[in-house]
Amino acid sequence: MVRVDADTIKAYVNSCPHRGTQLAAGCGRFEGRSITCPYHGWAWHLDGRIASVPGREQFSAETLRDENLRLKECRVGRWAGFVFINMDADAPPLEDAIGVETRYLDPLAIDRMGVLWHKQTVLPINWKGASDAFIESYHLLPTHPEYGAFGTDPFAFVYHQDPGGHSYYSVPIDNVSTKTGGDEREEFYRYVSYNIDEIGAMYTERDRHIASRIRHREIPEGSSVAAEYAVELQKYAAEVGIPLPTPEPEVFDHTGFNFIFPHLMFLPTIGNALCYRGRPNGMDPDSTIWDVWSLTIFPEDVEPPPHEILHVDWRDPKQVGRVLSQDFKNMERVGIGIQNRAFEGLRLNMAQEMGILNVHREIDRYVKT
């Protein structure tokens, strides 16, 4: 994948049309803006046109027709700073494929978010099994009991399945989670702090600061801790120049967790998001490359930090955080258990796990066609 110019991104099949050599590996820049085969020195412009062939006169004219030497392109689509690649020339446009789900994320201005950090690890499980772990919240209380202490009630969540394998679940405004009976201001502050300390995403230090502002404040009649937090957040953003969105209240009925088929996931808040991506690790069916991003909207006069991928060990809570460590430990056991010959298949909760059924039906549809 290359940036041809400031506005153009292209993706090519990574194979030299001469003898099939891999043209590129890893990330970086092509010296002299030329894609050069390391084997025999054939070279292409970044837009895919052939630039030079050493000893061209020794080939037949039919073998080296320029129109046949262009690098083979893949379909490229862009949304919210992400680049999507599709090797099917007849696939529908990206916006048609994912628009049913991104309509709930667009009002939260994912496109304005920059990368606070990006971690990558390799999990010992099939990529579909890894994704399944996040498409439902049925696991929340047994796996993450700390959230129960904050009053999070996954049985209050509402689940939706969309065409194309997409899904989302959330807590509608009129169906808030059961509280613990303690001071809701203190509970909210501890909830925000826990996510900062044990995930490092969905909330940032500015959110902890804002949550502390309302920690000892009287909540007006008819308002709520969440509503007061949103007001203070917008005030703070205006003070420091953070271009936060101002979504309508009903937007939050759809954005607790959003799964974009086949492998992109978001847990957004106002101004931040936790993002996951899972994909096969080469040809190993029991290994997954798992990416985690902490995204945030930076002040307009602040440049995001230089992007780097932090390669981490999923087994180390200090590297991945307590919450993800809890999830990853489950995946190790699932990866082993589903291969037991006595295992007969999934038995799914008809309320909280239908997103899993939805995505696997879509995968089956692709496989059958």
pLDDT band at 177 (very low <50, low <70, confident <90, very high): very low
Q: Report yes or no: 312 and 121 within 8 Å, Cβ to Cβ.
A: yes
pLDDT band at 184 (very low <50, low <70, confident <90, very high): confident
Determine the pLDDT at residue 254: 80
As given in the structure block, the two tokens for residue 14 are 């990574």
Q: For residue range 300-358, what is the model confidence (pLDDT) as tens digits?
A: 999 999 999 999 999 999 999 999 999 999 999 999 999 999 999 999 999 999 999 99
pLDDT of residue 222: 87
Q: For 100-174+243-368, which CATH superfamily applies?
A: Naphthalene 1,2-dioxygenase Alpha Subunit; Chain A, domain 1 (3.90.380.10)
- C-alpha 58 chain-centroid distance: 49
Confidence of residue 172 (pLDDT cuts 50, 70, 90): low
Domain ranges of the chain: 2-71, 100-174+243-368
Between residues 184 and 253, the one the model is more confident about? 184
Please provide residue 242's backbone torsions phi and psi, each rounded to the nearest 5 degrees: -95, 120
Task: Tell me: pLDDT of 178 over 50.
Answer: no
Mean pLDDT of 116-124: 97
Give the amino acid at 243. Answer: P
In the prediction, which pLDDT does 20 show?
96
**Overall average pLDDT of the 81-110 stretch:** 94
pLDDT over 80 at 119, yes or no: yes
- Is pLDDT at 195 greater than 60 in this prediction? yes
358-367, Cβ contacts within 8 angstroms, sequence gap of 24 or more: 358/161, 358/162, 358/165, 358/166, 358/167, 359/128, 359/131, 359/132, 359/135, 359/165, 359/167, 359/259, 359/261, 359/262, 360/128, 361/165, 362/164, 362/165, 362/261, 362/262, 363/128, 363/165, 363/262
Q: Which pTM value belongs to this model?
A: 0.91
DSSP assigned state of 33: G
Superfamily of domain 2-71: Rieske [2Fe-2S] iron-sulphur domain (2.102.10.10)
Separation CA 357–CA 369 (nearest Å) = 18
Whether 176 has a pLDDT exceeding 50, the answer reads: no
Q: In whole numbers, what is the pLDDT of the chain averaged over residues?
A: 93
Q: Is residue 174 predicted with pLDDT exceeding 60? A: no
| Whole-number percent of the chain with pLDDT over 70 | 97
Residue closest to 41 by CA, chosen among 13, 75, 16: 16
The predicted pLDDT at position 216 comes to: 87
Q: What is the pLDDT of residue 182?
A: 77
Assign 181 a pLDDT band (cuts: 50, 70, 90). low
- In angstroms, the CA 369 to CA 360 distance is 14
User: Is pLDDT of 101 > 90?
Assistant: yes
Q: Which of 177, 131, 135, 129 is nearest to 352 (CA)?
A: 135
pLDDT at 223: 87
324 with 276: CB under 8 angstroms?
A: no
